[in-house]
Chain A
């Protein structure tokens, strides 16, 4: 049983389309992070959310933390080929350790 479930596992869309990926758990997290990992590289932190209901925007990316702090979503508007990568969420139930989900592999076709 995994602490964090991400969906969908794979997503392939055309350039210009919108998409949403999800990160769900039955556990409550004190904070949650989203990373993007490109092929041959390590994950790069995109955002950290800490407050239930919090919404953060990073250009065309919108991150939302669920009110109960058990889930999160990432919405991308007008996807571009440069958005292609593996999107990982990581949550910290308590203490310092973050637990990662299995990720959503996104391909944006030009």
Chain B
């Protein structure tokens, strides 16, 4: 295993479902991120974790709930989503937070909410 992996790669869920996205990094990094990428919109930072502690929450609705049990794993728990939440959800990691640290992205989970 190398880099940052995300599962599942594709997910279709109804508005009443509960699902979770998983991210795992094999780089020994301390910081992990969730981003949302929608068509024709900039990549949006959702959450930042550093040493398992959440350091950023960019006004994300509570129907998105992150969990970081350790520095290698990051989850995004989803419940009662809306169709406009359909997007590519990207996970990233870096050695630490800060502008000098390169972020490594996973391949993303393509989420469709029906």
Contact = CB atoms under 8 A, between A and B. Distances in A.
A41 to B, nearest CB: 5
Interface string B45-70: 10000000000100000000000000
A101 B105 contact: no
B107 A102 contact: no
Nearest to A31: B99
Query: Considering residues B103, B107, B108, which has the most beta carbons from chain A within 10 angstroms of its beta carbon?
Result: B103
Q: Dominant SS at the A interface?
A: loop
SS class, residues of chain B in contact with chain A:
loop
B42 A99 contact: yes
Interface residues of B, number: 21
Contacts of A92: 99
Interface string B90-102: 1110000111001
A1 to B, nearest CB: 11
A98 B99 contact: yes
A43 B105 CA distance: 6
Given A2-B42, A31-B99, A43-B43, A97 B105 contact: no
B103 A100 contact: no
In the complex, which range does the number of interface residues on chain A fall in? Answer: 20 to 34
B106 to A, nearest CB: 5
A78 interface: no
Contact of B41 (A43, A98, A99, A102): A102
Interface of A: 2-4, 30-31, 40-45, 48, 88, 90, 92, 96-103
15 contacts: A30-B99, A40-B108, A41-B108, A42-B105, A42-B107, A43-B105, A45-B103, A45-B104, A48-B99, A92-B99, A96-B98, A97-B56, A98-B45, A100-B43, A102-B42
